[in-house]
Amino acid sequence: METVIRTAQLTKSFKGTNVIKPLDFTLYKGEICALIGQNGAGKSTIFKMLSGQLIPTSGEIRLFGKIGQDMADARQRMGFLIETPAFFADFTAEQNLKYYALQRGIVEKNRIAEVLAIVGLANEKRKRFKEYSMGMKQRLGLALCLLSSPDCLVLDEPINGLDAEGIREIRNLLIRLNEEKQITIFISSHILTELHLLATRFVFLKDGAVVEDITKEALQEKSRKQLIVTVDDAAKAVRLLEQNYSAISYKVMPNQVIAIHGHIENSGEINRLFTMNGVTVMEFRAEARNLEEYFLELVGGAAI
């Protein structure tokens, strides 16, 4: 499987503080990988090191197997949307893209029309940038990413500020680019429900370190079901669980509620265990966890 991005012990420090702890990460061709973390976890710092906007403190980056001086050529195969590009307010979409095409030495005459069509701006190409909605501005940013026909897109919050329709359009566009053009995508977003619909792999970041790297299939299996049990004595119920199930994973929540991860097949047994040992069960049900709940269990704290 072709490697698109590989980091080895990659770190970044600012004023003596380690923002990115030694990072070993590999992105393979064809993946849609979501980088998930709270504000300040280090997502944008990683993306900026990949794009060359920040110099790593230590470690190495390989892009398409290239390192050092050869990475400049490898970056030509990538499209980065890390901050809103500096478009000219009085230029149309066409004029803005022509400016960047000249700057980047892109000579294909039809390429601008092609990328505007891909992102759904073909009918808006003569409207000035300052008249664009937030969704149109984001789509033009994606068009700029696609200008050089990249093999990989690195996108930091590409759906930020979009309405529900705009978010759906961007998601469908990215899925289409991945499936039809085989473009590899490395993406972050605060909207975890969207990442769940889009990504094939999830990398969870906390305080500059990866705390989980999991495929969509494995995530669905792990978050598939949990038992939600409301009892009159959570402390006693937890002791019973630990005594009878050595590898059990659970979380005690407010109001005497216990979330037991997995163990759906033992639900009747667990219910009997509680009642036979004097623990009153008020509610006992199975439910699936969503990506946000899974994330919060991993990193703690408030939602991103």
On whether the 3-220 domain is CATH 3.40.50.300, my answer is yes
CB 145 within 8 A of CB 77: no
SS3 call for 210: strand
Q: Could you please state the CATH topology (level 3) that the domain comprising 225-287 is classified under.
A: Alpha-Beta Plaits (3.30.70)
Domain pair 3-220 / 225-287, same fold: no
- pTM for the model stands at 0.80
Average pLDDT over residues 213-234: 86
Phi-psi region of 169 (alpha: psi -120 to 50; beta: other; left: phi over 0): alpha
CA 117 to CA 142: how far, in whole Å? 12
What pLDDT is recorded for position 50? 96
Q: Is a pLDDT exceeding 80 seen at residue 84?
A: no
Query: Hey, where are the domains in the chain?
Result: 3-220, 225-287
What pLDDT is recorded for position 78? 96
Q: pLDDT tens digits, residue range 51-69? A: 999 999 999 999 999 998 8
